[in-house]
Structure 1
Amino acid sequence: MDVTARDGTRLYVETAGESGTPILFIHEFGGNYDAWEPQMSFFARRHRCITYAARGYAPSDTPQDVERYSQGVAVEDAVAVLDGLGIEKAHVVGLSMGGFTAVHFGLKAPERALSLTVAGAGYGCEKATEDYFRGVSLKVAENFEKDPVAFSRIYALGASRVQFQTKDPRGWAAFAERLSRHSAVGAANTMRGVQARRPSFWDMEERLKAMTLPTLVIVGDEDDHCLQPGIFLKRTIPACGLAVLPKTGHTLNLEEPAAFNALLAEFIAQAQAGAWGPRDPRADPGQVMRTE
């Protein structure tokens, strides 16, 4: 089915599960709506699951103007999906680019979220590599613009993607094939309008400190540029937990689907039970051992 975004862009949506608390899955730059299949199939047993193709990703519309792509627009699109389905609140789950959208969703529309799961998010956040990341994003945009099929073979073998290939060659091949279907215009505009312009988590520290939603951050221990941002979110968001998957890269939900699903299922269960609250004030991070 389709829903219409605020600016008239048509967004393709798929659902699974007829009842239960809604879960909204938001994909990464290198994926699409169908990259959430291991989660859609698993969680549809007890939840109403929703996934969608972001603008610029077929079969959603691909606006030609880069100014119609931004981090703010990405949040508006996620809200539009819920509106189009008549859903008031959902657990919001995002990977990488989608993880950033989940964070910003919690800041911009907290009344629409039951919880946030932020997986593999952090590229471009570290202040020391902020300018470098923007430059790389613009170069990636150029390369996709020239030949998305040829460049997808290079992109799919990134430093945090090869772990997936080693563990699950067939799953990685499906990921790489999905990547090769990226729209040249959509990929370039997404990189330029969303990735290269989004703010660092460190720039949002005070806002994140005030965000009270139950939050789970998941990172792979070989996804180097997400590790420190993940720790920062853990230390900054009051009701945040951090899970680190060993010997794991960036494509978390596909590389380690069983572990990802188990973590997410337990988190959602605790969040719904009201058992995932802010850190106990007695757990003072400045204390090594209690002496009195």
Structure 2
Amino acid sequence: MPTIDANGVKLHYQDTGRGYPIVFVHEFGADHREWETQVRYFSRGYRCITYNARGYPPSDVPEDLNQYGWEFSRDDIAAVMRGLGIAQAHLVGLSMGGYAVLQFGLKYPDMASAIVAAGAGTGSPPHLRDAYLKEAPETARGFITRGMAAMAEEMGHGPTRIQLKHKDPRGWQEFMDHLRAHSAQGMSNTCARYQALRPSLHDFRDAFGKMTTPVLLAVGDEDAPCLDTNLMLKSAIPTAGLWMCPNTGHAINLEEPAAFNAEVERFFAAVERGSWRRRE
């Protein structure tokens, strides 16, 4: 099983296809398998890299809480790229992964040729911030006290995920099967140290204003916790475009894979031919 060392933590990865590299970074409730529809599509012309974050088997699940956090998530992307000898790549992240790729763009601008941040921003809007900071630690404890099955059932029927069940029952069931099998300890540690402690994206508005990397923001119009933040990011990042997918919740790449793939492909094509415009 292929792994890459990320500061002492082994991360499982998959490397599919040939061509210019795309690195996919998964969300909190998923792992590398939820990018399957994107890998099958883009590996026809690109080299597609997927990996499991720390805390998500078969990647290592450190017991030490200090081995988790948004900075680790950001830097693990760099570790994966360096481990595979990739100097620069397109990046695609969803939710927790969307947060990570945006932060990666701030710290490692020369390593990111294009960034797709989908469903990023949960817990960031100022008017929702206090409630989020109270809820996240409780969720972290729930994985240990209630177990993965109960927590997965609650997550899968949440107001921004139930859309997938309505649209694609088999796809939703596959997502749920994967989610139930995650490490309760890994999920708890990730939630306690990454989700609960990461700063609001609004705190980085000035830094985002200096970004030069092309960015595509993608969000479902029923992903209420992320809408305000994506509007902020669109206004802050001079190189950002915003695509809002109708009647869609949080897991946009699973709900609308054909539309998501097409929009991302158009974005990459514009970047590669030099026609993705910076806002005047």
What TM-score, normalized to structure 2?
Answer: 0.98
Structure 1: which 4+ aligned runs deviate by more than 2 Å?
none
Secondary structure at the aligned position of 2:211 is classed as coil
2:128 alignment partner in structure 1: 129
1:25 alignment partner in structure 2: 24
1:200-231, CA deviations, whole angstroms, 9 ceiling, x for partnerless residues? 12111110000111000000000001111111
C-alpha distance in 2 between matches for 1:123 and 1:254: 18
2:82 alignment partner in structure 1: 83
Report the Cα offset of residue 145 of structure 1: 1.5
Secondary structure at the aligned position of 1:12 is classed as strand
User: Structure 1 residues 175-184 or 90-99, which shifts more?
Assistant: 175-184
Secondary structure at the aligned position of 1:86 is classed as coil
C-alpha distance in 2 between matches for 1:195 and 1:131: 13
1:81-117, CA deviations, whole angstroms, 9 ceiling, x for partnerless residues? 0011110001010000000001000001111101110
C-alpha distance in 2 between matches for 1:105 and 1:276: 20
C-alpha distance in 2 between matches for 1:235 and 1:14: 35
C-alpha distance in 1 between matches for 2:102 and 2:195: 14
C-alpha distance in 1 between matches for 2:38 and 2:190: 24
C-alpha distance in 1 between matches for 2:150 and 2:236: 40
C-alpha distance in 1 between matches for 2:25 and 2:169: 24
C-alpha distance in 2 between matches for 1:235 and 1:272: 23
Secondary structure at the aligned position of 1:55 is classed as coil
1:290 alignment partner in structure 2: none
2:221 alignment partner in structure 1: 221
Report the Cα offset of residue 277 of structure 1: 2.7
C-alpha distance in 2 between matches for 1:15 and 1:207: 32
1:215-254 equivalence runs, <5 A: 215-254=215-254
1:128-168, CA deviations, whole angstroms, 9 ceiling, x for partnerless residues? 11121122111111111121122211111110001110000
Secondary structure at the aligned position of 1:242 is classed as strand
1:265 and 2:260 equivalent?
no
> What amino acid does structure 1 have at the position aligned with 2:193?
G
Identity %: 44
Instruction: Specify the structure having the higher radius of gyration (Cα).
Output: 1
C-alpha distance in 2 between matches for 1:210 and 1:109: 13
> What amino acid does structure 2 have at the position aligned with 1:156?
G
C-alpha distance in 1 between matches for 2:206 and 2:168: 40
1:276 alignment partner in structure 2: 276
1:14-163 equivalence runs, <5 A: 14-17=14-17, 19-146=18-145, 147-163=147-163
What TM-score, normalized to structure 1?
Answer: 0.94
1:210-269, CA deviations, whole angstroms, 9 ceiling, x for partnerless residues? 011100000000000111111111110010000000000001101100000000000011
> What amino acid does structure 1 have at the position aligned with 2:132?
F
1:5 alignment partner in structure 2: 6
2:168 alignment partner in structure 1: 168
Secondary structure at the aligned position of 1:250 is classed as coil
C-alpha distance in 1 between matches for 2:79 and 2:149: 31
C-alpha distance in 2 between matches for 1:4 and 1:277: 37
C-alpha distance in 2 between matches for 1:134 and 1:33: 27
> What amino acid does structure 2 have at the position aligned with 1:50?
I
C-alpha distance in 2 between matches for 1:229 and 1:202: 7
- Over aligned residues, Cα RMSD in angstroms? 0.7
Structure 1 runs not aligned, ≥5 long:
282-292
1:190-229 equivalence runs, <5 A: 190-229=190-229
Secondary structure at the aligned position of 2:253 is classed as helix
Secondary structure at the aligned position of 1:30 is classed as coil
